[in-house]
Amino acid sequence: MAVVDATLYRHDVRLAHVLQGGAQRHEGRSRLYLVLRDADGAGVGEVAPQPVSLNGDPGLKSVIDELRDVVLPQLSAISSREGAAPSWTRMSRFAAPREASATALALVEMALLHRELKMEKCRLDELWPSQSALRLQRSVSLVDDEAWPALKGVARLRAKVTPGLLAPRSLERLAASSLPVVLDFNATASSAEDVLGVLEQVRLVATVVAVEQPFLVGNLTDTARLSERLDVMISLDEGVRSLRDVEQIARYGAAKLVCVKPARVGGLANARTLIARARVLGLEAYVGGFFESPYARQANRVLAEHSVTEPSDVGDVDVAGEDLKVVTTETGFGLDVDEDFLRTRTTRIFTTGTET
């Protein structure tokens, strides 16, 4: 049975705690929810793109355009030709070199996976059973003195930093937390000295376990040279989008830790494959996904428990105002989106390719 209805909703949320990074100030995020429905059932996918393109990640508008103009027409053509919606496992093969392709495909894949799990009366944690206890990583900022969220149950901090002097009050908070930290540069460093200067400041108050994405995406040569000068791991985030990226990172010796974000790499199936390949190559991995709602973070948590032992960015994140309403279920991801919330509390962008 072909997919007969596809509706995209947008929900804009403000973070309860502003997160200042080296290249971007995160005050809120727009979450996109795609509902795919046919005669056999419905599924919901979610991604939370950046407002504008940055460091190779697509902006919100380009993801919407890619979904409406390319991915959903592909899905419709396949469904019409084959008489049924394709399995979620096939979506990754439709990836294209366009910046927004992977994120749009991740949205469709998640909706199809959710639909299939409900049809089969199965949960994702049955398909991917837990292999280790979930450990949480929380993102904070050392760039300014903004208040931090509560850190209860957090195993590690991922601190946004930028070359130069860091905020004294945030360094005091870091010291008081007694938590190990990953220093996330978000590609803002220009030299090894930029990194070493920040590392020296933070080491006065905390244990640093890794330096993340110091240089621009693709600059593995300088990253590998920096790795030779550091006695902590280098982690890569924005530079991890494909199997080839993971293999190049290992080949150059550029990092020992990688952040794998399902929405960035084309979906949950690709994320699982990248994590498995990273381990074969001697790299550790963690799952990213800070800006998603409790619904998508639940799916990411299942992936993390199944695939990684490193602390992951899949914990709850407080928003100022009304968050997505979810309900507990025995199938799917364990949480389901309240569709009445989507209809009444969000903005409908389009239905079956027609703008409203």
* Domain layout of the chain by residue ranges: 5-122+338-355, 126-320
Q: Distance between CA atoms of 247 and 317, rounded to whole angstroms? A: 32
Rounded CA-CA distance 236/185 in Å is 10
Q: Please answer whether residues 295 and 333 qualify as being in contact, where contact means their C-beta atoms are separated by less than 8 angstroms.
A: yes
7: tokens are: 């509706």
What SS3 state is found at 222? Answer: helix
- State residue 1's pLDDT score: 42
Question: What per-residue confidence (pLDDT) applies to 40?
Answer: 87
Q: Which two tokens mark 34?
A: 């795609």
Contacts 24+ apart (CB under 8 A), 327-331: 329/118, 330/121, 330/123, 331/117, 331/118, 331/120, 331/121, 331/122, 331/123
Q: How far is CA 220 from the centre of its chain?
A: 22
* Helices and strands: H and E segment counts in the chain: 12, 15
Q: Give the contacts of 97 (CB within 8 A, at least 6 positions apart).
A: none
Residues whose CB falls within 8 Å of the CB of residue 227, separated by 6 or more in sequence, listed in order: 234, 253, 254, 255, 256
Among 228, 205, 226, 203, smallest CA distance to 216 is for 226
User: What six digits make up the tokens of 336?
Assistant: 């389901």
Q: Say how far apart CA 272 and CA 113 lie, in whole Å.
A: 14
- Predicted local distance difference test score (pLDDT) of residue 4: 67
Rounded to an integer, what distance in angstroms lies between the CA atom of residue 130 and that of residue 272?
13
**3-state secondary structure at position 201:** helix
CA 31 to chain centre: 12
Single-letter amino acid code for the residue at 141: S
Walk along the chain (356 residues) in steps of 10 and give the mean pLDDT of each run: 80 96 92 94 96 95 97 93 92 94 98 97 97 97 95 97 97 98 97 98 98 97 97 97 97 98 97 98 96 96 98 94 95 96 96 58
pLDDT at 265: 97
Question: Strand 284-287 and strand 257-260: pairing?
Answer: parallel
Fold of 126-320: TIM Barrel (3.20.20)
Predicted local distance difference test score (pLDDT) of residue 356: 36
Separation between Cα atoms, residue 182 and residue 316, nearest integer Å: 19
What pLDDT shows up at residue 354? 44
Q: What's the pLDDT at 57?
A: 95
Look at residue 22 in the predicted model and tell me its pLDDT. Answer: 84
The pLDDT of residue 39 is 87
236 close to 259: Cβ distance less than 8 angstroms:
yes
pLDDT of the residue at 302:
98
Looking at 3.40.50.150, 3.40.50.11540, 3.30.2350.10, 3.30.390.10, the CATH number of the domain 5-122+338-355 comes to 3.30.390.10
- Please list, residue by residue across 74-99, b when 16 or more beta carbons sit within 10 angstroms of its beta carbon and e when fewer do: ebbebbeeeeebbebeebbebbeeee
